[in-house]
Amino acid sequence: MFPLLVGQADKQTDELTFYFFFFLTLWKTLNFTTVTTDARFFLFVSKIVTFNDPCNNYTALDQPWRGTNETGLSICDRDFNWNGWYRLVRMPESCVDESRCGTYTTLWLNGSHPQTGDGIVTRGVCGRSGSDCCYYRFIPIRVKACPGNYYVYEFVRPTICTAAYCGVYPGGGLNPSLQCRRQRC
């Protein structure tokens, strides 16, 4: 009745594919023909898709110390229980000086950010040590561009301490929640 998913599709795609075929089978079984029922079915399915979209289901990382100009702390993202999706306006795509972003080893995105229509992509994460911008290479993370000019990231636990994910915020601001209030994001 349901298709067998082959390969290593991501979990979200598996879930959405399952729901799509489940509701398609339900649709055919119940033989929906009226416009009212069709519209309710569409709204129900779209709510499932919206709920699973990480752009609508994330935790905001709004700590000012994540800014690339912030110094003086020794935050350790390894101590954080990373689970799910997190919103930053944007991670830097190039090397960040040591002792920034509230930590010693600054974590930045090794690759370009996706466009809104690209869906979820996988990117590497680098951490600087001395003059080597990508001395530490961490488990890749997943990234999605969201409407409203922000990104969500599925962060993983760094393997070393005194390492933290950095954020670059528009207009030089360091706190994305304050920036978002001004821009209504």
| Predicted pLDDT of residue 171 | 54
d(CA 41, CA 23): 9
Q: How many helices (H) and strands (E) does the chain have?
A: 3, 7
d(CA 93, CA 103): 18
| Predicted pLDDT of residue 76 | 95
* Structural domain range at position 92: 59-183
Are residue 45 and residue 73 in the same domain, yes or no?
Answer: no
Are residue 110 and residue 66 in the same domain, yes or no?
Answer: yes
Does some domain include residue 1? no
Tens of pLDDT along the chain (185 residues) come to 333 333 334 444 444 444 444 444 444 544 544 444 444 444 444 444 456 899 999 999 989 999 999 998 999 999 999 999 999 889 999 999 999 999 999 999 999 999 999 999 999 999 999 999 999 999 999 999 999 889 999 999 999 999 999 999 765 544 444 433 333 33
Q: What backbone torsions phi and psi does residue 61 show, to the nearest 5 degrees?
A: -100, 100
In the chain, how many domains are there? 2
Does some domain include residue 6? no
Does some domain include residue 163? yes
Are residue 98 and residue 26 in the same domain, yes or no?
Answer: no
CA nearest 147: which of 66, 53, 62, 17?
53
| Predicted pLDDT of residue 89 | 80
Are residue 28 and residue 74 in the same domain, yes or no?
Answer: no
Are residue 25 and residue 80 in the same domain, yes or no?
Answer: no
